[in-house]
Amino acid sequence: MKELLGVKQRFGIIGNNEGLNRALDIAVQVAPTDLSVFITGESGTGKEVFPQVIHSFSLRKHGPYIAVNCGAIPEGTIDSELFGHEKGAFTGATDSRKGYFEVADGGTIFLDEVAELPLSTQVRLLRVLESGEFIRVGSSKVQKTDVRVIAATNIDIISAVGSGKFREDLFYRLNTVPVRVPPLRERGEDIILLFRKFAVDFAERYRMPAIRPDSQAREMLLNYYWPGNVRQLKNITEQISVIEQEREVTAVMLTHYLPDFQNARLPVPVKHKDDQGFGSEREILYKILFDMKSDMHDLKNLVYEMISSGGEVGNLTESGVKAVRNLFSDSPVRKEAVEQVRPVTISFGTPREKMGIQDTEEVVEESLSLTDREKELIKKALEKNNGKRKLAAAELGISERTLYRKIKEYDLEG
């Protein structure tokens, strides 16, 4: 524990959560080796600190350390950035250039958002990991490099492997030592410690008294879902420090900065990403199934009440009767009550008044197409951020490159 405390002080890591301590302990233990490390965790959890810890405690600490955001490099130039190119290899290549793997020889390279790499680049990366060999773009000469690779991602990498978006062999090669960084909502009292630390930092920066939460505000901070994790907490602390005149943060004040607080307190942690974007298609399906299950439960209660009160639910066709009985096949409804449901023959010539049918408003069913929902969310994010793609991508929880591809795919450039 004393060693971990020193690591936290050196790298400015705040918190005593068990999951955080476990991740730090693994990082320190694996540092002296040359094993590849794969860091997973949601966006904004501070994954970028762990490669620095590993490099600083490794035998390569005097060598170069290079951090590469794979999601921020255009697909057409990613191979050149990583492995270099020769003069004339492509339009605009006026000189030869060393890539990151060549520059980082003898040191450590951190590949953030590694899941954003194109499949062709993943093949090249796998070769470097297995043999230490690479070839510059436009060259036929094989070069060697001695680099330790640390990778990170904020997506469900197992799903990416299953869908063919990420090579399985590369995943297992990178995932020699997995490190999971816990999201902020799982870190309990660390949230209050971080809030106080950020409040003090901003007080010094802007030369003003530090803000402090009251008891109700503390409860709100602890119960909030924090989809943006530590990054979101830091931004909110800075906003309150600058905008608010009062130095004591109340629950009412905090509500203005956490507008979706009530939705974030669901007993099941379902992210309401209808307004913020979905991290994966699986989350969309979970949301739809959750809503359908809730609707089915309400329907069962309604039909049972109508049966019990002798309502008109008995006026059903044979298929309708069968459907009602199937609906209650797994419910504790009295058998005799369900058996009271009988079919009735409805003639097409029967007047609407005799059938007891009343005109109702037309109900337009909401589209459940994943493509339509994703397209709508991207539109909302772009409109909310006045067309600024960087901000929209951050709110949707995807990279700028992925957002750009989606905009072209759905023809949203207009």
Q: Give the domain CATH number at 247.
A: 1.10.8.60
**CB contact at 8 A, 204 and 196:** no
pLDDT, mean of residues 387-394: 83
Instruction: Indicate whether 365 belongs to any domain.
Output: no
CA 392 from centroid of its chain's CA atoms? 14
One domain, residues 85 and 219: no
One domain, residues 110 and 236: no
Q: Which of 213-227, 280-294, 363-377, 389-403 has the lowest mean pLDDT?
A: 280-294
One domain, residues 329 and 221: no
Residue 104: Cβ-neighbour burial (10 angstroms; 0-12, 13-18, 19+): buried
Instruction: Indicate whether 300 belongs to any domain.
Output: yes
**CB contact at 8 A, 240 and 195:** no
Instruction: Indicate whether 392 belongs to any domain.
Output: yes
Rounded CA separation 323/316 (Å) = 10
Instruction: Indicate whether 18 belongs to any domain.
Output: yes
Question: Domain with 399 in it: what CATH number?
Answer: 1.10.10
Above 60 in pLDDT, residue 329?
Answer: no
Rounded CA separation 288/267 (Å) = 17
- Model confidence at 273, pLDDT cuts 50, 70, 90, reads very low
Above 60 in pLDDT, residue 269?
Answer: no
Instruction: Indicate whether 245 belongs to any domain.
Output: yes
**CB contact at 8 A, 225 and 185:** yes
Q: Give the count of domains, the chain.
A: 4
**353-373 pLDDT, tens digit each:** 544 545 545 545 555 567 777
Rounded CA separation 77/71 (Å) = 12
Q: Which of 4-18, 141-155, 355-369 has the lowest mean pLDDT?
A: 355-369
Q: Which residue range(s) make up the domain with 59?
A: 2-182
pLDDT value, residue 115: 96
More confident position, 274 or 403? 403
Is residue 97 left, alpha or beta, with left meaning phi > 0 and alpha meaning psi from -120 to 50? Answer: beta
SS3 68: strand
The residue from 182, 204, 223 where one domain ends is 182
One domain, residues 32 and 168: yes
Answering whether pTM is above 0.85, one says no
**214-238 pLDDT, tens digit each:** 999 999 999 999 999 999 999 999 9
Rounded CA separation 1/369 (Å) = 51
Q: What share of the chain is helix, strand, coil (3-state, %, to 5)?
A: 50, 10, 40
pLDDT, mean of residues 189-206: 96
One domain, residues 119 and 253: no
**CB contact at 8 A, 216 and 30:** no
Instruction: Indicate whether 212 belongs to any domain.
Output: yes
The dihedral over CA atoms of 196, 198, 202, 204, expressed in degrees to the nearest 10, equals 60
More confident position, 386 or 356? 386
Instruction: Indicate whether 275 belongs to any domain.
Output: no
Mean pLDDT score of the chain? 83
Instruction: Indicate whether 360 belongs to any domain.
Output: no
At 354, list the tokens. 């005799």
**CB contact at 8 A, 175 and 217:** no
CA geometry: angle at 156 spanning 154 and 161, to 5°?
Answer: 120
Its sign, for the CA torsion 288, 290, 291, 292, is positive
Residue found under tokens 């730090």: 24
One domain, residues 310 and 249: no
One domain, residues 15 and 159: yes
**CB contact at 8 A, 65 and 110:** yes
Percent of the chain residues past pLDDT 70, beyond the cut: 73
pLDDT value, residue 91: 86
One domain, residues 157 and 128: yes
One domain, residues 152 and 9: yes
One domain, residues 339 and 384: no
The residue from 151, 182, 213 where one domain ends is 182
One domain, residues 138 and 51: yes
One domain, residues 101 and 173: yes
**166-179 pLDDT, tens digit each:** 999 999 999 999 99
Nearest to 334 by CA among 299, 304, 311: 304
Residue 102: Cβ-neighbour burial (10 angstroms; 0-12, 13-18, 19+): middle
At 72, list the tokens. 């921020």
pLDDT value, residue 389: 84
More confident position, 376 or 362? 376
**35-48 pLDDT, tens digit each:** 999 999 999 999 99
